[in-house]
Each structure stands twice: as structure tokens, then as C-alpha cells.
């Protein structure tokens, strides 16, 4: 009997976005089932539905043959569903035992910490999964914290354990240990759903795998019967629509060079592990990859927001590695971040947002010349076709597309020589997307160097003159679009050399 049967699951969000289009997933009892797909394929949404966090618009869920309808995660937990997210749900200043106690209390209000300790010790004995009960959580390595999450789910009597990209936060050794654990749990009869975009891991750990793409299931296969290539093809298979007319590139001098760049993330973990790139005038270099593979850290290091701990950044022959963002912007580097929450100040006016990265142009001895600021904003509005009542309107009243145009436009009016742009069309409608992409191509045609960082494979394929694939902070390959088949791209993005 299958442990999980999800049939005909649709999920339509109130804003009309369709996340899942009739997904059917069957997970057999006691197997490790992989769930593979790109960003936005719908894996996480499907799991959140299984965990009772969101309700499906349509569809049925059966656990061990019985239909269920969860009112919330607690309901799911009571039915034996456990979930381990990328971001842990532990109280960092509590000890492991206190966290476990906290997790069990809602299920059994009479339980004592001493009983929890006994239960935990018994469970550790059974599974061989060891965690130090007396230690404060924040002092533990990430891998151990994850183990605490798993123990927590097991103590809550989870029969089905879903792990969302569990390896993304782990070191290779920790990954090995996790896999050992999962095999151990499988022996205990626990059903495991393993969400990932890494092909190697799918091959290594799963029994069967369901591949998703754009809210639909492409297929479910026995892992042993398919190759990584097959999986990659299933994951990225698409018709690339070349709606944009693109003139051939005419690359010039190298204006921007990155040598062996290493950057740490907020947690101090090395997110960019030695990236080397060259960017020429008049070309778009696209960086393809699944989200969370070091793209943001790379972009911020290139813009000067984040200091790399190793490597060099050369702009027009000059070493700019130690310069801050404002100085680099002044030299002619522009950066459009992946999030409008970062790039724009929602509570401020359009004009106040336009000057954010243009301060040197509108200030004179510390004073802001609002007239100059307003005419600069008018220019952005006119040139980039921003629909706005006035430059004094709050930016948050603009649509996402118009906000994006302001964010891109204010950089372009500065006439930068190097234009770094991340996820430029995320969440935009078709019209705005076309406009932004056209703008990027025009910029290239006018001889500027563009570095496009995007998790949208279509976008990278459409705009790039050269493509680099990033995986776990490393560039897997660089080449012209013709040199990549979709299958190869899929393999590279999944961490398989090809």
C-alpha cells in the first residue's frame, strides 16, 4: 500500500498564479522517494500541502490508504507526517532536550522533560542517530542541528519524513552522514521524501524519483533504471521560445575580470568557492544555476556590497577588490539586485528611489538638489516607459513591472560600463518581461558589458552570448549557447560534470 497518495492536486494562489496543475504523487511505504525539479517547479508547494501548511485548491490526499484533510501542520504531525525544512524551526538558545520537550508538549501536555529524555535516548539507540541532549542548539554544527530536527520528527511519531533540500546547508562529510542516517531510517520502516535539484544525490540515495516541471509531474521512475542524463532531460526539457530578435554579438575588450573569487555568506560558510570569469564589452554573460548556489553572494561581491575573502576583481585593468559599492558605482559598475525589497525603498517616493544609487549626480556639497533629482527621475520614467502618476508618488504604489523598470532604468541612465543584473524579470508579467529583456539587449548592443544572473533558464538562453553554469559556488562550465544542449545544462545545474 502506498504511504502517500496525492491525486490531481491543483494549487491556484489568490493572485492567480498557478503553482500546481494536477499533480499526482505516489510514494510507497518504506522507500526513499526523490522529488526533483528546477526552481518554481512546484516541489515545495506540494510538500507544504502534504504538511498541512497550505490547502490545495483541488485534489485528494491519502495516507496509507485513508483520505485525510489537514487543518494545519499539527494535524499533519498527528497523522505521522514529519517535515525538515532548510531553515530549522529550533529555538537557538534552548538545549536540544528543551527543544524536543517543546515539540512534544502539544502532543502530550503531561509529558515531563525526564520522559522526553528517556524517549529520545531510546530513539537514538534504535536509529543510531546521535545528538547531544544537553547542548544549546546554537552551539551545534548545522549538520547536527538537522539531526535534531529529524529526531524531533521521529519523536513526534513521524512515519513519513519529508526533507526539503536537506543537503544544501551541509558540508560533504555531513551529507555522507545524512545519507547514512536516511538509509538507517529506511530500515526502520520510515518513508522518506527527499526534495532536491541535485542529480547525483538522487542517484545515490533514492529508490524512485518523481520529476516535476512547471507545476506538473513529468514522470515517476525507478532510479536504478535511468541515467543522470535522462533525469536532466526530464527536468529541463522545454521549447525555447525565441521571441526576441537578437543581433549577433560583437564582443570587444575585456572590461571586467574575476579571478578565483571566494565569498562567504552571512553564516560564514563559503558560498562562492573560487569563481573566475571574464566579461567583454558588448556581450551578455549569463550565469545559469539553481537558486542558492552562490549567485547572490557572487553578485554582491562583484558590486562591492560583500567583501570576498580571497581572489581579485579587475575593472578596466584596475584592481577594485577593496573598493566599496559606492566607489565601484562611481567608476561605472552598476548592479540591479535580485530583490526589489533590497533595490527599492518601498515607503519612499519614486524620486527618492531613483537617487539611491545616483547620489553623486544630484548632490552638491552634501545638499540634495531636488530639482536635478526630479528631472533625472522624469528621464527614467520617460525613457523606460514607467507608468506613474508623478515622480513624487510612493514607489510601492507602482506595479512590480514598473518598479523593476525604475530599478533597472536608474542604473542605465548612469551609463555604466558593466551592468550586473540578477533575476531581472522575476514575478513580472509578459509585457514587462519583454521590455526589460529588450532593454538588456539594447544595452549590450550599445557596447556595454552585461552580467546576467538568473535562475530562469529560458531567460539565460534567450539573452546570453555566453553561458556559465554555477553549482555550489563553482562555475561548472562556460561556453556559447550552442555548446550546451538542454540535457547538458540540466546535468551541470544538477552538479554533474558533462
Footprint of another protein on this chain (CB under 8 A)?
Answer: 87, 303-305, 324-329, 335, 337, 341-348, 352, 355-357, 359, 363, 366-368, 370, 392
With beta carbons less than 8 A apart as the criterion, state whether 345 and 395 touch. yes
The span from the CA of 62 to the CA of 92, in Å, is 35
Round to whole Å and give the CA distance between 238 and 61.
29
Instruction: Pick the closer one to another protein by CB: 232 or 303.
Output: 303
Rounded to the nearest whole angstrom, what is the least distance from the CB of residue 326 to another protein in the complex? 3
- Least distance CB 368 / another protein (angstroms): 6
Residue 87 CA, distance from chain mean position: 13
CB of 145 to another protein, least distance (A): 16
Do the Cβ atoms of 404 and 428 come closer than 8 Å? Answer: yes
CA angle 496, 497, 498 (to 5 degrees): 110
Q: Using alpha carbons, list the distances in angstroms from residue 228 to 36, 162, 232.
A: 12, 22, 6
How close are the terminal C-alpha atoms of the chain, in Å? 39
As measured in angstroms, the least distance from the Cβ of 298 to another protein is: 15
> Considering the complex, what minimum distance in angstroms separates the CB of residue 270 from another protein?
21
Q: Identify which of residues 170 and 356 has a Cβ nearer to another protein in the complex.
A: 356
Helices and strands counted in the chain (H then E):
18, 22
Question: Based on C-alpha coordinates, what's the Rg of the chain?
Answer: 25
Residue 63 beta carbon to another protein: minimum distance, rounded to whole angstroms: 30
Judged by beta carbon, residue 37 or residue 409, the one nearer another protein is 409
Cell reading at 192: 522518506
Contact between 170 and 178 (Cβ < 8 Å): yes
Of residues 245 and 364, the one with the C-beta less far from another protein? 364
Output 79 or 296, the one with its CB closest to another protein.
296
Question: At its nearest, how many Å lie between another protein and the CB of residue 478?
Answer: 27
Closer residue to another protein, CB minimum distance, 113 or 292? 292
Q: How far is the CB of 299 from another protein (least distance, A)?
A: 11
Which C-beta is closer to another protein: that of 18 or that of 307?
307
CA dist 215 and 227 (Å) reads 23
Enumerate residues 6+ apart whose C-beta is below 8 A from 344. 353, 356, 395, 403, 406, 407
Asked whether the beta carbons of 434 and 243 are under 8 A apart, the reply is yes
Which one-letter DSSP state was computed for residue 358?
Answer: T
Per DSSP, the residues of 269-320 read: -EEEEEEEEEEETT-EEEEE--TTSSHHHHHHHHHTSS--SEEEEEETTEE-
Q: Which residue's CB is nearer to another protein, number 136 or number 368? A: 368
Please answer whether residues 205 and 32 qualify as being in contact, where contact means their C-beta atoms are separated by less than 8 angstroms. Answer: yes
Report CA-CA distances (Å) from 395 to 21, 86, 234, 377, 400.
34, 33, 41, 12, 10
Which segments of 156-222 does DSSP mark as H helices, in order?
172-187, 199-205
Least separation in angstroms between CB 475 and another protein: 24
Q: How far is the CB of 247 from another protein (least distance, A)?
A: 32
Q: Which residues lie below 8 Å from residue 332, measured CB to CB, with a gap of 6+?
A: 315, 316, 414, 415, 416, 417, 418
Burial of 241 (0-12, 13-18, 19+ CB in 10 A): exposed
CA distance 62 to 360: 61
Q: How far is the CB of 358 from another protein (least distance, A)?
A: 9
What is the smallest separation between the CB atom of 435 and another protein, expressed in angstroms? 23
Looking at the Cβ atoms of 291 and 363, the one nearer to another protein is 363
- Minimum Å distance from CB 400 to another protein? 14
CA 36, 39, 45, 51 dihedral sign is positive
Nearer to another protein, 276 or 363 (CB): 363
Cβ-based nearer residue to another protein, 107 or 359: 359
Whose Cβ is closer to another protein: residue 324's or residue 479's?
Answer: 324
Q: Is 369 left (phi over 0), alpha (psi -120 to 50) or beta?
A: beta
Give the residue with the Cβ less far from another protein, 66 or 341. Answer: 341
Amino acid at each position: 500500500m502506498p504511504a502517500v497518495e496525492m491525486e490531481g492536486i491543483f494549487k491556484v494562489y489568490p493572485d492567480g498564479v498557478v503553482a500546481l496543475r494536477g499533480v499526482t504523487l505516489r510514494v510507497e511505504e518504506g522507500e526513499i522517494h526523490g522529488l526533483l525539479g528546477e526552481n518554481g517547479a512546484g516541489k515545495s508547494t506540494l510538500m507544504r500541502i502534504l504538511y498541512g501548511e497550505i490547502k490545495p485548491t483541488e485534489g485528494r490526499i491519502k495516507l496509507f490508504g485513508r483520505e485525510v484533510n489537514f487543518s494545519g501542520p499539527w494535524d499533519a504531525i498527528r497523522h505521522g507526517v514529519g517535515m525538515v525544512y532548510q531553515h530549522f524551526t529550533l529555538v537557538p538558545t534552548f538545549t536540544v532536550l528543551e527543544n524536543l520537550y517543546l515539540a512534544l508538549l502539544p502532543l502530550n501536555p503531561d509529558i515531563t522533560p525526564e520522559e522526553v529524555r528517556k524517549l529520545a535516548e531510546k530513539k537514538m539507540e534504535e536509529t543510531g542517530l546521535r545528538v547531544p541532549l544537553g547542548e544549546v542548539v546554537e552551539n551545534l554544527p548545522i549538520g547536527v542541528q538537522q539531526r535534531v530536527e529529524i529526531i524531533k520528527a521521529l519523536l513526534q511519531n513521524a512515519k513519513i519524513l519529508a526533507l526539503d533540500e536537506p543537503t544544501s546547508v551541509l558540508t560533504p562529510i555531513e551529507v555522507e552522514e545524512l545519507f547514512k542516517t536516511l538509509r538507517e531510517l529506511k530500515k526502520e520502516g520510515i518513508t522518506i521524501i527527499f526534495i532536491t535539484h541535485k542529480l547525483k544525490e538522487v542517484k545515490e540515495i533514492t529508490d524512485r524519483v518523481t520529476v516535476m516541471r512547471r507545476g506538473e509531474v513529468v514522470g515517476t521512475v525507478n532510479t536504478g533504471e535511468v541515467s543522470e542524463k535522462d533525469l536532466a532531460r526530464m527536468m529541463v526539457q522545454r521549447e525555447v521560445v525565441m521571441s526576441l530578435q537578437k543581433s549577433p554579438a560583437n564582443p570587444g575588450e575585456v572590461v571586467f575580470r574575476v579571478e578565483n573569487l571566494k565569498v562567504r555568506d552571512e553564516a560564514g560558510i563559503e558560498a562562492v568557492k573560487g569563481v573566475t570569469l571574464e566579461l567583454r564589452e558588448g556581450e551578455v554573460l549569463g550565469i545559469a544555476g539553481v537558486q542558492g548556489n552562490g549567485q547572490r553572494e557572487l553578485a554582491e561581491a562583484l558590486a562591492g556590497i560583500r567583501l570576498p575573502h580571497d581572489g581579485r576583481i579587475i575593472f578596466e585593468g584596475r584592481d577594485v577588490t577593496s573598493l566599496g559599492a559606492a566607489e565601484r558605482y562611481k567608476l561605472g559598475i552598476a548592479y540591479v539586485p535580485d530583490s526589489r525589497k533590497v533595490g527599492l525603498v518601498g515607503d519612499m517616493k519614486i524620486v527618492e528611489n531613483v537617487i539611491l544609487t545616483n547620489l553623486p549626480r544630484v548632490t552638491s556639497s552634501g545638499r540634495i538638489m531636488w530639482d536635478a533629482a526630479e528631472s533625472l527621475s522624469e528621464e527614467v520614467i520617460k525613457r523606460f516607459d514607467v507608468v506613474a502618476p508623478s515622480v513624487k508618488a510612493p514607489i510601492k504604489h507602482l506595479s512590480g513591472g514598473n518598479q523593476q523598470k525604475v530599478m533597472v532604468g536608474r542604473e542605465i541612465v548612469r551609463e555604466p560600463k558593466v551592468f550586473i543584473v540578477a533575476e531581472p524579470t522575476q514575478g513580472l508579467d509578459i509585457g514587462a518581461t519583454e521590455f526589460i529583456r529588450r532593454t538588456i539587449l539594447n544595452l549590450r548592443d550599445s557596447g556595454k558589458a552585461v552580467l546576467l544572473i538568473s535562475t530562469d533558464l529560458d531567460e539565460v538562453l534567450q539573452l546570453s552570448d555566453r553561458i556559465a553554469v554555477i553549482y555550489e559556488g563553482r562555475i561548472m562550465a562556460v561556453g556559447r549557447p550552442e555548446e550546451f544542449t538542454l540535457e547538458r545544462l540540466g546535468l551541470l545545474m544538477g552538479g554533474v560534470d558533462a
